Structure 1
Amino acid sequence: MTLDSFARRRVGSLLTWAATHMAGGRISPNALTWLSLVLSALCALALYLSRDSVPMLLLALVLLVAAGLADALDGAAARMLHREGRRGDFLDHVIDRYSDVLILCGAIFGGYVPMWLGVVALTGVLLTSYMGVQAQAVRLERVYGGLMGRADRLVVLILAISLNVIYPHELLGLLPLGWGLAVVGVLSHITAVQRFYCTLRRLEE
């Protein structure tokens, strides 16, 4: 079970409480969504510039955590303000994909992984998300299951960047962040296949 599913069941009330106390309950969910994109873009830039700079890598870590919090809070704010709808859901998913691509590209072009491994990570992340929502195109519920959802990717990247700050040395040819991207790539492709077969089984029922 992914952290995405756990978060929806266990952390939803905490996020709603946090959203309630932000800006006196007057915060705009869409503003949080756009904020997550801006923070992700800044994180990508920091990652790109961080190959030989620990302070820049620390900045990337802070920005990544902030982007994740903004992304988590936008849905909670929408529920609290009764602004849930297809438009907000669509915007959230589009911004999430752009954020994913920006962050991964920042690490890839920052020199943390070979280009081929970066492509593996990028395609895995995009296919995981595609398989999750494609079920809706055939009139099924969205699929969130599998080994690695978006929250899982965020945790892996946070841990990998943290390890890279503590131990900025290669291990078997890759820095800790490089290994984090490798894990994201492999597990994301496995998750995409899991969601593919999950949707096929549902269609056969």
Structure 2
Amino acid sequence: MTLDKYKDWIYKKTEPIVRFIGDRITPNQISLLSILCAFLAGLLIFISRLNVFFLWISLFFIFLNGFLDIIDGGLARYLHIESRRGDFLDHILDRYSDIFMLSGVFFAGYCSPETLGYLVSELIGISAIVGVLLTSYVATQAEAVGLKRNYGGLLGRSDRIIILSIFIILQALIGEIGGIDMLTFMMIFFAIVCNITAIQRFFYAWKRLN
């Protein structure tokens, strides 16, 4: 079960903020601000090898990315301007956001290449990024062939944002265990669980198409 299933409940809780925003800014503009936050978060994670303080700053932009990702959909509903174009843009930008943040982790060396070896480190990083992208791709592809969008499985985007935030804090506080960075454990977790989630969603769609 993923937190993505509770989007309607979250939309209700953020409705006062949405009403306050009103028509001052469009949902698409919020989506663009969201991806900017993801880019800055990824950049800060990447340069955090120079100073761990940048990890703490990246938390703010990770949170803001997740928050804005909720607000843009809620605002579109509130203004009655939901559209396929807006939904399409939102999903494309979400995937870029995922890539920016996880690439920051990978290219900063938080997959512990010095301890695990460069080949293993690259396999972990690539598997995690592929798993994250496939999780969302399978869900939207199922919708493209006429099924209801599936937010099921072990891990969704909201869950990943929370887990990333937790491991950023652990990385900043603890650093490493036995020469392995805390963020390495997160990437291994994503590499396994996100790919399992993608497979779960595939078979969910496959059975219904049959």
What does residue 156 of structure 2 align with? 149
Equivalent-residue separation in structure 2 for 1:21 and 1:180 (angstroms): 36
Equivalent-residue separation in structure 1 for 2:2 and 2:50 (angstroms): 33
Q: 1:122 and 2:129 equivalent?
A: yes
Worse-superposed segment, 12-21 or 40-49: 12-21
Equivalent-residue separation in structure 2 for 1:29 and 1:146 (angstroms): 28
Matches within 5 A, 1:1-205: 1-6=1-6, 8-22=7-21, 24-113=22-111, 114-168=121-175, 170-204=176-210
Unaligned runs of 5+ in 1: none
Equivalent-residue separation in structure 2 for 1:174 and 1:72 (angstroms): 34
The AA in structure 2 aligned to 1:177 is: L
Contact map agreement 2:45 2:54 (CA 8 A) in 1: yes
The AA in structure 1 aligned to 2:14 is: L
Q: Structure 1 residue runs of 4+, over 3 Å off?
A: none
Deviation of 1:148 after TM superposition, in Å, equals 0.3
Worse-superposed segment, 188-197 or 44-53: 44-53
For residues 102-155 of structure 1, what are the alpha-carbon distances to aligned partners after superposition, in whole Å with 9 as ceiling and x for unaligned?
Answer: 111011001101222110101001111111011122211111110000001001
Worse-superposed segment, 84-93 or 129-138: 129-138
Partner-residue secondary structure (3-state), 1:21 = helix
Deviation of 1:52 after TM superposition, in Å, equals 4.0
TM-score by length of structure 2 reads 0.91
Partner-residue secondary structure (3-state), 2:177 = coil
Contact map agreement 1:112 1:178 (CA 8 A) in 2: yes
Unaligned runs of 5+ in 2: 112-120
TM-score by length of structure 1 reads 0.94
The AA in structure 1 aligned to 2:20 is: H
Equivalent-residue separation in structure 2 for 1:130 and 1:63 (angstroms): 24
Report the identity percentage.
41
Contact map agreement 2:11 2:70 (CA 8 A) in 1: no
Deviation of 1:203 after TM superposition, in Å, equals 1.2
For residues 80-109 of structure 1, what are the alpha-carbon distances to aligned partners after superposition, in whole Å with 9 as ceiling and x for unaligned?
Answer: 111101000000000000111111101100
